[in-house]
Homo-oligomer: A and B are copies of this chain.
């Protein structure tokens, strides 16, 4: 039996809506049965019906949807929250409290306080909750995590993470509304590029390491001088487990197309991976030769194997990584229904803790950047 899935936000013309519907559809694990897709209730309902949602579950807004679903015997098992950022917190919290699993777009909240509150809510209710750091779904990202966890790298000393692209480098384009809002503090908050992209690199590094940030020192610049928020940032982190993370993010790095990549250097070896060519992982044991680990190769790790769908040598890409988050949640929800523990290799989705840590890191980076790169505590208060 498929699980029932609902979507909030992601209406007609949005980019993220189709991505979520695709992610939820890839493995045939969910039926799309309910939606509140648009700020305009009539448009949202019409679009949902157009996508095959029954009229009575094509809701006008999220509150209506929560009320409507709450009482149904066939109520949704999972809701995806893909609304404007400022609304994530209240919607996600409301569904968690109603006992419905949530996949929340990033940023999870607008403030650290909200993030802490949401984290406490999830801890208390034990409802499955994921934050959509979709790059965590790549098979070889999961394999790096498994290698780190099983000790292949020894103690990790240093991580280099980048998410640097060049799509906002054109000063002539800076006033283009499609770009401008991304650097407008009124719409975006106190950080632009670090909060938007850098945070993916931080989450990936934390995810692979199994370590959260302890302290950080940030340098923000506005390469396009008309901007008040940063379009390029460098942040050094001390991680809780002792590693140093050096993180660069940029939107003015002309010639870089996406630019999310990770290098992990431990006592016993080093790893190198890049999102644009995600099917190869480079591993060098200390004193040995660099080896190319291919996605789909035999004997990788259960985590990588579960996340792969096609045989070795065939390219896999981002939409399937995304789908892995949905697949993990499906296993987790099913396990809950069946009163068993979910499979370990499916318990790999980014959690409310990732969301919480991200919000704390953004706040800390903004503060550090303002204070000329001073080292500041990067932890949320409730984790100090």
Give the interface of A toward B (CB within 8 A): 2, 15, 18-19, 21-22, 25-28, 51-52, 157-158, 160, 164-167, 169-171, 217, 219, 221, 223-224, 232, 234, 236, 244, 246, 248, 250, 252-259, 263, 265-267, 269-272, 275-279, 282-287, 289-294, 297, 309-320, 372-375
CB distance from A131 to the nearest CB of B (A): 19
Shortest Cβ gap from A147 to chain B (Å): 13
With A221-B158, A276-B315 given, is the CB distance from A255 to B271 under 8 Å? yes
| Contact call A232/B158, Cβ cutoff below 8 A | yes
- Give the residues in chain B near A265, CB-CB below 8 Å: 166, 169, 223, 250, 252-255
Of the residues B246, B289, B316, contact of A291 by C-beta under 8 Å: B289
CA separation between A325 and B255, bound complex, in Å? 30
On whether the beta carbons of B318 and A223 are closer than 8 Å, the reply is no
A313 to B317, CA, bound (A): 11
Instruction: Say whether, besides A25-B26, A255-B269, A270-B255, A372 and B372 are in contact (CB < 8 Å).
Output: no
Partner of A254, one of B51, B258, B266, B277: B266
Chain B residue with the shortest CB-CB distance to A51: B28
Check B255 against A234 for contact (C-beta < 8 Å).
no
Q: Would you call A170 and B223 a contact (CB within 8 A)?
A: no
Give Cα A312–Cα B315 distance, bound, in whole angstroms: 16
> Bound state CA distance, A282 and B279, in angstroms?
18
Q: Once bound together, how far apart are the Cα atoms of A317 and B322, in whole Å?
A: 13
Q: Are B246 and A234 in contact (CB under 8 A)?
A: yes
In the bound complex, what is the Cα–Cα distance between A266 and B291 (angstroms)?
A: 19
Contacts beyond the supplied A255-B270, A276-B279, A310-B319: 14 A-B pairs with Cβ under 8 Å: A25-B25, A158-B232, A160-B248, A171-B267, A217-B219, A217-B373, A223-B265, A254-B265, A257-B312, A279-B315, A289-B291, A310-B317, A314-B318, A372-B374
A51 proximity list for chain B (CB < 8 A): 28
The answer to whether B253 touches A158, judged by C-beta atoms less than 8 angstroms apart, is: yes
B310 touches A19 (CB 8 A): yes
Q: Say yes or no: B244 contacts A277, CB within 8 Å.
A: no
A270 touches B26 (CB 8 A): no
Bound-state Cα–Cα, A248 to B263, Å: 13
Q: Which residues of B contact A318 (CB under 8 A)?
A: 310, 314-316
Q: Which of A158, A221, A236, A253 has the most CB of B within 10 A?
A: A158
Residues in B with CB closer than 8 Å to A253 are: 158, 160, 263, 265, 270
A sample of 8 inter-chain contacts (CB < 8 A) reads A166-B270, A223-B265, A253-B265, A253-B270, A257-B294, A289-B294, A316-B317, A319-B320
Instruction: Find chain B residues with CB under 8 A from A315 CB.
Output: 275-279, 315-318
A171 to B25, CA, bound (A): 42
Q: What is the minimal beta-carbon distance from A215 to any residue of chain B, in angstroms?
A: 10
Query: Which residues of the partner chain B approach A290 to less than 8 Å between Cβ atoms?
Result: 255, 291-292
When chains A and B are docked, how far (Å) is the Cα of A318 from the Cα of B2?
25
CB-based contact A289/B286 at 8 Å: no
B255 touches A287 (CB 8 A): no
Docked pose: A293 CA to B158 CA in angstroms:
24
